[in-house]
Chain A
Amino acid sequence: MVEQLTCNEQVPGSSPGLGSIGMKKDSQYWYLHIGRASDLAGSDRVLYRLFEMLPGILSLSTLGVFVTFSFFLPIWAAYATIAFSIYWLLKTCYLSIHLRHNFKRLRHNMKLDWNERLKVLHYDHIVHLAIFPYTDEPYEVLAESVRALTQATYNAKRIAVVLAAESRGGVEQKVIADRIVREFSPHFRACIVTEHPANLPGEIPGKGSNISYAAEEARRRILDTENIPYENVLVSAFDVDTVIYPQYFSCLTWHFLTAERPMRSSFQPVPLYNNNIWHAPMLSRVIAYSSSFWQMIQQERPEKLATFSSHAVPFVPLRGAGYWQKNVVSEDSRIFWNLFVRYDGDYEVIPMAYPVSMDANVGANVWDTSKNIYRQHRRWTYGAENIAYILFAFLKNPRIPLKKKFRAAAFQIEGFWSLATHPIILFAIGWMQLIVGGHSFNATVLSYNLPLIAEGFITAAMLGLVLSAAVSLSLLPERPPEYGRFRHIVLAAQWVLVPFTMVLFSSIPGLEAQIRLLTGNYLGFWVTPKRRNAISPRSAPAV
Chain B
Amino acid sequence: MKPLSPRKRRVYLLLLVALFIFALPAVIFYARGYRFWDNIGFIKTGGIFLSVPYANAKVSLNGKRVGESGLLKRSFYIGDLAAGTYSVDVIREGSHPWHRILVVDSELVTDADVFLVPTPIDIVELSFAKGAASTTRSISRPLFSEYSSLFDAITPTTTSSRMGTLMLLGGDVALRWLKPDTTLPSTYCVQPVHCVLEIWLEKGKQEAIHTAFFEGGIVYATKEGGVYVAEADVRPTPLTVVLYSKPGSDFRIIDNRLVVKDGDRLYEILGL
Contacts and interface: CB of A to CB of B under 8 A. Distances in A.
A440 B49 CA distance: 15
A93 B16 CA distance: 9
A267 to B, nearest CB: 14
Contacts of B72: none
B191 to A, nearest CB: 12
A86 interface: yes
Interface in B1-53: 1-4, 9, 12-13, 16, 19-20, 23-24, 27-28, 30-33, 45-47, 49
A449 B47 CA distance: 10
Most interface-central of A93, A94, A300, A444 (chain B CB within 10 A): A444
Contacts of B84: none
Given A299-B3, A351-B3, A439-B183, A94 B33 contact: no
Contacts of A197: none
Contacts of A87: 20
Interface of B is mostly: mixed
Interface in A205-245: none
B107 A446 contact: yes
B164 interface: no
Contacts of B16: 90-91, 93-94
B23 A446 contact: no
A24 interface: no
B183 A440 contact: yes
Contacts of B30: 449, 453
A443 B111 contact: yes
B221 interface: no
Contact of A82 (B19, B27, B77, B109): B27
Contacts of A167: none
B31 to A, nearest CB: 4
A353 B3 contact: yes
A449 B12 contact: no
Given A90-B16, A101-B3, A445 B183 contact: no
Given A86-B23, A443-B111, A448 B12 contact: no
Contacts of A170: none
B108 interface: yes
B33 A86 contact: no
A404 interface: no
A351 to B, nearest CB: 7
Contacts of A448: 47, 49, 77, 79, 109
A446 B32 contact: yes
B24 A449 contact: no
Nearest to A97: B12
B108 A443 contact: yes
A449 B79 contact: yes
Contacts of B2: 105
Nearest to B186: A443
Nearest to B44: A445
A463 interface: no
A86 B47 contact: no
Interface in A415-454: 438-440, 443-450, 453
Contacts of B28: 79, 82
Most B Cβ at <10 Å: residue of A79, A94, A445: A445
A87 B16 CA distance: 9
Contacts of A291: none
B140 to A, nearest CB: 46
B48 to A, nearest CB: 10
B9 A301 contact: yes
Contacts of B226: none
A97 B16 CA distance: 12
B107 A445 contact: yes
Interface in A66-83: 78-79, 82-83
A351 B45 CA distance: 53
Contacts of A311: none
B108 to A, nearest CB: 5
B49 A83 contact: no
A98 B10 CA distance: 12
A445 B45 contact: yes
B4 A98 contact: yes
Interface of B: 1-4, 9, 12-13, 16, 19-20, 23-24, 27-28, 30-33, 45-47, 49, 77, 79, 107-109, 111, 183, 186, 192
9 contacts: A78-B31, A82-B27, A90-B20, A109-B1, A439-B183, A443-B186, A444-B32, A445-B79, A445-B109
Interface of A: 78-79, 82-83, 86-87, 90-91, 93-94, 97-98, 101-102, 104-105, 108-109, 299-302, 351, 353, 438-440, 443-450, 453
